Amino acid sequence: MRMLITGGAGFIGSEFVRQAVRKGHQVAVVDKLTYAGDLERLSEVRKDITFYKADISNQEFIEHIFEKENPEVVVHFAAESHVDRSLLDPYPFISSNVLGTQVLLEVSKAKGVELFVNMSTDEVYGDLGKEGSFTEESPLKPNSPYSTTKASADMLGRAYYRSFGLPVVTIRASNNYGPWQYPEKFVPVIILKALHDEKIPVYGDGTNVREWLYVTDCAEGIMAAIDRGKAGEIYNIGSKEEKQNIEVAKAILKLLGKGEELIEFVKDRPGHDFRYSLDTTKAKRDLGWEAKTSFDEGLKKTVEWYIEHLKWAQDKVAYLNDYWKRVYVRQ
């Protein structure tokens, strides 16, 4: 199958690229290579893919790529994806996540793409209390500039399916973690700071809850949607592994043999959603997919990977130090 994968040098996208290559698909990757994109993630499959450095909002160049590659399936990961950055500057999120998605949908429609897979997030559903889980029918109530742009992309996908007949499948995944995640996200931040005996920033009182999905499982869920999903449908992809942020921090410290005195509670994120939880009944029933990796197993693998690839992560830290000062403010 000829696949065009946007954001394929990113965290989740690169895992999907590696899986697609192993399955024998013909893969072309489009990535702008912004600060979080890295071709090193694709080193093991670089010779097996075609790569284009491109901004997905550049319609003329995207049309050129489609002409050359003639993709049957488009898998759209490319996005600005960090909530904290969207609070500092929403504009890049609107440009990439909304305008870029519209360009891809428009070109896919014009070229007769057989399937367009839109990668979304559980954050589009908004805040959830202590009980219950979001289903695919739950209303969208995004609360950050990031999640609002992702909800906008979801609605564009819906419109192109309903109005133009473009076969669009939407994947809403819970919080991913695992190897190769850019160290601005919660899990790698804790690992790197703990390894250097630095204070570990935890928002508020640490009781916010996320559902943690190992990245390999997530990519497998997306592949299942390509193989068995139905156009026009939405599929929640989650793990049922819900953890408070403070629990995650303590679990990482325990794996590293570090003391909990490193934890430092910082001023809470503006508009911080309390809890996300996904009902994945539909994915299990229609796609035959469910997460395989327990949180304990996945976290152990992740910590071991960062220890083994410490240089890759540390090379990013110099860029991040000033950013960390801006978002992690002591209470």
- Out of 123, 217, 241, 242, pick the active-site residue: 123
Q: What is the pLDDT of residue 315?
A: 85
Name all domains of the chain by residue range, CATH numbers in brackets: 2-174+214-237 (3.40.50.720), 177-210+241-275+294-327 (3.90.25.10)
| Number of alpha carbons in the 13 Å side-chain half-sphere of residue 157 | 28
Residues 126, 122: Cα–Cα separation, whole Å: 8
Whole-number pLDDT of residue 323: 65
| CA nearest to 176, candidates 121, 133, 231 | 121
Mean pLDDT, contiguous 10-residue spans, the chain (331 residues): 98 98 98 93 98 97 98 96 81 92 98 98 94 97 93 98 98 98 93 95 95 98 98 98 98 98 92 93 98 98 97 82 65 59
**pLDDT for the residue 42:** 98
Quick one: tokens of 91?
């504009």
pLDDT value of position 326 = 67
User: Given this model, what pLDDT does residue 331 score?
Assistant: 59
Where does residue 100 rank: exposed (0-12), middle (13-18), buried (19+ CB within 10 A)?
buried
Assess whether 241 carries a catalytic annotation: no
Known catalytic membership, residue 146? yes
Question: How far is it, in rounded angstroms, from Cα 253 to Cα 85?
Answer: 26
Both structure tokens of 296: 């304990």
Q: From the candidates 55, 69, 122, 217, which is the catalytic residue?
A: 122
What is 112-176 written as a DSSP string? T-SEEEEEEEGGGG----SS--B-TTSPP---SHHHHHHHHHHHHHHHHHHHH---EEEEEE-EE
pLDDT of residue 329: 63
Q: Which of 52, 125, 146, 328 is catalytic?
A: 146
